[in-house]
Amino acid sequence: MKKKKRPFILTAVILTALILVFNLAGMNRSFCDFYTDNIYHFIADGLGFITAPIPFPLGETLMYAGAVTVIVFVLSLILLIFFHRKKVYRRFVFHYARFFVMTALVVVTLYTFNWTVPVRGTLLGQNATLDVEFTPEEMTALRNYIVEQLNRTAEEVERDESGNIIFPDQRELNESAARGLQSLSDEFPRLAGYYPPIKDAICSDVLDWMKIGGYTYPFTMETTQNKFCIRLYLPVLYAHESLHHKGYYKESEAVFLSYIGCIASDSPIVRYSGWLWMYMDVNAKMPVAEDAPMPSALVQRDLKEDYADEAARYAAESHPLERFKPEAKKAGKKGWKTQGKFIKKYDYSGGVNLILQYYKGKIY
């Protein structure tokens, strides 16, 4: 019996030591940058490559299985009060507890390697800062430039005889977005290399109610998307989640890089997506004059039709969990609020400051 316990204890000790050592080392931001630049991508890309062929999001499935595992573990401990005299049941609880502990240690280890260390590095891995102020004139110049590029790109997109956008296969668009990100690798070296495919989330409707576009699972390194997002958002969403996979876990840096990566793409639709959502973010963060240039009628029409398409796709599917929609919305609001407190200035809004810094000296 003692010999059987040794592998379990040894493995548990090794995993616990790895968790402690790497999380302690993660308190040093220089170590986090070194790790993310030189080690992280081997683990992330390796896991991503292994899980990519699986036709469903394994990470999401394991998350649900994990919730069930926790519930069963708690119930088994409660029932032990009543069945503690039964040897068979005690043996079951003992082995289940070993399984539970080992699973938890493996998950925490993967989270340590694939999230808690990378996320604590410096901004963009380059010790960038968000403490840069800009004049109203500079902010206006950026906004007007984005509007100009947005309207111009809308004219470049391929359309049918009725003026509707002809959307290529999403895989093709994602590959174009990946090439756009890779083209920036001289300035941001982490953007080179492998990009795993993004998968539709199983519970896309729940994500939709919670206003979540996608999620990256650190324990499988899969990227997933809410399939009910509008099509013009999907290239930016793919880029955003791929950036998390690349180690850019701060939302501000993922927002910024997803936009400039998309506008560097060789696909007009991907560029259109990048300019459109860059405009949405920048326009929402600054005052707009009454005579300021606005998105063209063509852009507004594209958005209107895309939202109509999204509504039609949503209505075409059954949603067995819809009775929990109010609870999901409430949980989503609380989650966004909690996330805002946790990541503080590195939240989504910080992306606008990085965009302003990026274009300083280029257009103003």
Domain boundaries, the chain: 2-120, 136-359
- pTM as predicted: 0.93
Query: Buried (b) or exposed (e) across 195-229, using 16+ Cβ within 10 A?
Result: bbbbbebbbbbbbbbbebbbbbbbbbbbbbbbbbb
One pLDDT digit (tens) per residue for the chain, 364 residues = 556 678 889 999 999 999 999 999 999 999 999 999 999 999 999 999 999 999 999 999 999 999 999 999 999 999 999 988 899 999 999 999 999 999 999 999 999 999 999 999 999 999 999 989 999 999 999 999 999 999 999 999 999 999 999 999 999 999 999 999 999 999 999 999 999 999 999 999 999 999 999 999 999 999 999 999 999 999 999 999 999 999 999 999 999 999 999 999 999 999 999 999 999 999 998 888 889 999 999 999 999 999 999 999 999 999 999 998 999 888 888 877 776 666 666 777 899 999 999 999 999 8
Q: Which residues contact 362 (CB under 8 A, 6 or more apart)?
A: none
> DSSP for 87-156?
HHHHHHHHHHHHHHHHHHHHHHHHHIIIIITGGGS-BTTTTB-S-----HHHHHHHHHHHHHHHHHHHHH
Q: How many CA atoms, within 13 angstroms, populate the side-chain half-sphere of residue 120?
A: 19
Cβ atoms 88, 248 nearer than 8 A: no
